Amino acid sequence: DSGVTQTPKHLITATGQRVTLRCSPRSGDLSVYWYQQSLDQGLQFLIQYYNGEERAKGNILERFSAQQFPDLHSELNLSSLELGDSALYFCASSVGNGRGETQYFGPGTRLLVL
């Protein structure tokens, strides 16, 4: 158990819908990272937040957005869902702003878009 929690574990929804994934980092960690893992794309970095501020962006679609709240939990919002958005979404956290730091991954949210 890494100490990172994610809810929900599974999510089934329809195309065009909007969902929110939630992540709570390990106690004391200030950075939260979001990753998407699909069979053909592997583990793709989406976005990083550090202490409430966006730090780095990866291949995140405009339909996706995220935020980190004052209590340091983070939410990833996925809208206008498409079949191709079906994937495992992982959240990870690290102590500081990320450079040279270990990232600890949560158990993931499995999203299925029908």
Partner 1 sequence: QQPVQSPQAVILREGEDAVINCSSSKALYSVHWYRQKHGEAPVFLMILLKGGEQKGHDKISASFNEKKQQSSLYLTASQLSYSGTYFCGTEGLANSGYSTLTFGKGTMLLVSP
Sites for partner 1 among residues 13-72 (CB under 8 A): 33, 42-45, 48, 55-58
Please answer whether residues 32 and 72 qualify as being in contact, where contact means their C-beta atoms are separated by less than 8 angstroms: yes
Per rule CB under 8 A, is residue 89 in the interface with partner 1? no
Interface pick for partner 1 out of 14, 27, 70, 102 (rule CB under 8 A): 102
Interface pick for partner 1 out of 11, 49, 68, 106 (rule CB under 8 A): 106
Binding residues for partner 1, rule: CB under 8 A, are 2, 33, 42-45, 48, 55-58, 88, 90, 97-108, 110
